[in-house]
């Protein structure tokens, strides 16, 4: 089997990584799923940048189906939040599973920093 081009790899991964949904014209919901780590950070970033290019009033990222969130996987979320603020889009991450935010007391993988 010949190696996939970067575009084909992104297209296949994106199908499994997210779903985009618009319930209202001013709201764009991006639903992420699976593991968000170093190996998916680039694709996640591309997807969030594409959503911001549509210039919605509100960009909502639903992480209810994310099974693991590493520090590297969270970086695209932080960068998208900064980009949204710069263009005047309200940005929110919703439906985070409880285990993603709690993690262990030592701040191990899957924990979000305080503040």
Mean pLDDT, rounded, of the chain:
77
More confident residue, 5 or 76: 76
Looking at domain 13-97, which CATH architecture does it have? 2-Layer Sandwich (3.30)
Please state the length of the chain. 115
pTM of the full predicted structure?
A: 0.66
**Domain regions of the chain by residue span:** 13-97
- pLDDT for 32-75, tens place per residue? 988 889 999 999 999 999 999 989 999 999 998 888 889 999 99
């Amino acid at each position: 089997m010949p190696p996939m081009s970067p575009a084909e790899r992104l297209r296949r991964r994106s199908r499994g990584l997210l779903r985009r949904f618009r319930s209202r014209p001013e709201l764009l919901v991006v639903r992420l799923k699976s593991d968000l780590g170093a190996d998916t950070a680039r694709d996640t970033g591309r997807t969030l940048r594409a959503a911001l290019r549509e210039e919605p009033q509100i960009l909502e990222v639903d992480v209810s189906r994310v099974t693991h969130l590493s520090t590297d996987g969270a970086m695209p979320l932080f960068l998208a939040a900064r980009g949204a603020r710069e263009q005047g889009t309200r940005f929110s991450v919703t439906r985070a599973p409880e285990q993603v935010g709690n993690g262990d007391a030592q701040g191990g993988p899957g924990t979000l920093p305080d503040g």
